[in-house]
Structure 1
Amino acid sequence: MDIEEIRRKKMLELQKKLAEEEEKQKALLEAELQKRALIKRILTAEARERLERIRMARPEFAEAIELQLIQLAQLGRLPIPLTDEQFKALLEKIAAAKKKKSEIKIIRK
């Protein structure tokens, strides 16, 4: 009787964990779909192609760019749709700012 009770409780715990994981996956998928829809509205087709090429080479950088694009668009600081030329100029600004931040100077005395 005790073993059956333990098994039943364990099964309920496993089912609960599985349901929670499924919910998390569903929420992540929904968020990703919303992000894709926003990016589709923000960028022209050529600019989206450029972003996808960046994603292939540097996925983390592409994620950061997407988040920045969405934030800038929500603040109204981007022309919508953003053309490929405008997107390239924005990428250059981001790269220059990142390079400036990552520069380390060592001064010896």
Structure 2
Amino acid sequence: MIVVMVACGSEDEAQHIARLLVEAHLAACVNIIPIRSLFEWDGKIEDQSERLLLIKSMKSRFDQIRDMVKANHSYELPEITAMDIASASEEYADWIKTVCGLGK
């Protein structure tokens, strides 16, 4: 199981990408969280309001998630990072596998 993080520039973009991922069974659940990001871009420090997607999925789905995000994201270089989940309740992990089409 993994959680993929993607920062989006707007609520609309975040909802669009989240819905695509869930409808395609690439994610079992996507949380959309308002965040503020500070980063360097083109030699300048940027300070922006964004939406962070926390995408709950399986490691075997990462490449498809990455490709779908890239195809639908407005940023030239979107953040697409993933963390392995070391532990989860068995029931929750089974639900993620089932929703993502990987069975139990």
TM value normalised by structure 2: 0.28
Larger strand share, 1 or 2:
2
Structure of higher RCO (CA pairs closer than 8 Å, 6+ residues apart):
2
- The structure that has the greater radius of gyration is 1
